[in-house]
Amino acid sequence: MNQYDLNLILNPSLSAEQVLTEKEYIESTVRNAGAEISKLDEVGNRRLAYAVSKDREGYYLMYTIKASGNPEGSIAASLRLRDHVRRVLVVKDRPEWKTKKA
């Protein structure tokens, strides 16, 4: 199984209950795809570099997942269909990115 970073930007005007509902849906989608969640960094509302759907802010969620195959096709495609999800990015974690240069 390979390690991936799953980064999402949600609608910034969501209530706490709506954010919890979105997180539960994301976690169930990841589990249904045969992957497991290692870590979640919930950053919260941050200013965007440019407007996305006329919003200048977004609610950031950054997951670290372990999956086999291609999670871009299975996980990201179903998450992009949600109304409150603005952006989805899946990046394969590579060990050489974590080494420090001398």
Residue 100, in any domain of the structure: no
Residue 60, in any domain of the structure: yes
Residue 61, in any domain of the structure: yes
- Asked if pLDDT for residue 23 goes beyond 90, the answer is yes
- Asked if pLDDT for residue 79 goes beyond 60, the answer is yes
Residue 86, in any domain of the structure: yes
Contacts of 69 (CB under 8 A, 6+ apart): 34
Residue 43, in any domain of the structure: yes
Residue 101, in any domain of the structure: no
Q: Which is higher by pLDDT, 51 or 95?
A: 51
Q: How confident is the model at residue 70 (pLDDT cuts 50, 70, 90)?
A: confident
Residue 62, in any domain of the structure: yes
Give the dihedral sign, CA 29/35/40/42: negative
Angle at 12 between CA 82 and CA 23, to 5 degrees: 50
**Which of 1-5, 8-12, 75-79, 98-102 is predicted least confidently?**
98-102
pLDDT mean across residues, the chain: 89
The confidence score (pLDDT) of residue 93 equals 78
Q: Is the backbone of residue 54 left (phi > 0), alpha (psi -120 to 50) or beta?
A: left
Residue 79, in any domain of the structure: yes
Give me the domain span that covers residue 20.
Answer: 2-94
Place of tokens 């709506």: 18
What are 24-63's pLDDT values in tens digits?
999 999 999 999 999 999 999 999 999 988 889 999 999 9
The domain that contains 56 carries what CATH number?
3.30.70.60
What's the domain count of the chain?
1
